[in-house]
Amino acid sequence: MNVKHTLKPIYDKNSKVLILGSLPSVKSREVGFYYGHPQNRFWKTLEKVFNEQIGNSKEEKEEFLLIHHIALFDVIKECEISSSSDSSIKNVTPNNLNPILKKSQIKTIFTTGTKAHQLYKKYIYPKTKIEDIPLPSTSPANCKKGIEELLIKEYKNIKEKLDI
């Protein structure tokens, strides 16, 4: 099925790091916000990394990101995909990151999951020349990594880049 990205990027002029996923899942598209599947560990992971409650509303999540100078978007603008399976992605049209990069202070880009990293390298890195830092997927499909491993070894790098 051909899917178009419908969520707006979250960023402002103070954003210092950008986190890119591949494409919002079926559930995320249904709820109209990033990492919207209740079993996705993205928001729980950020709560633990920053040691604070985020809240459940879109507004609270967006406010959290902006307060911490985090921008959030995806690599893919449009593609063919079966359900929410990254492994089925083909015929990719990438998102244009130039407006975000020009209107913010982003110096570090993280990609969540192997597919986001691969697609970033293929389609976006040649234009931005900003190396990404790959992070493991927080999807419930990625059961190999526990939340503590995601936190301690990987996602704390976001906070460290903000503290520089």
pLDDT digits (tens, 9 = 90+) for 83-131: 777 677 889 999 999 999 999 999 999 999 999 999 999 999 999 999 9
How much of the chain exceeds pLDDT 70, in percent? 91
The predicted pLDDT at position 144 comes to: 67
Tell whether the model's pLDDT for residue 150 goes beyond 80. Answer: no
Task: Residue 55: count other Cβ atoms within 10 Å of its Cβ.
Answer: 13
Instruction: For residue range 11-33, list pLDDT tens digits in order.
Output: 999 999 999 999 888 889 889 99
pLDDT (mean) for 31-45: 91
Task: Residue 3: count other Cβ atoms within 10 Å of its Cβ.
Answer: 19
> What pTM does this model have?
0.92
Q: Which domains does the chain have, with CATH numbers?
A: 2-163 (3.40.470.10)
Confidence of residue 2 (pLDDT cuts 50, 70, 90): confident
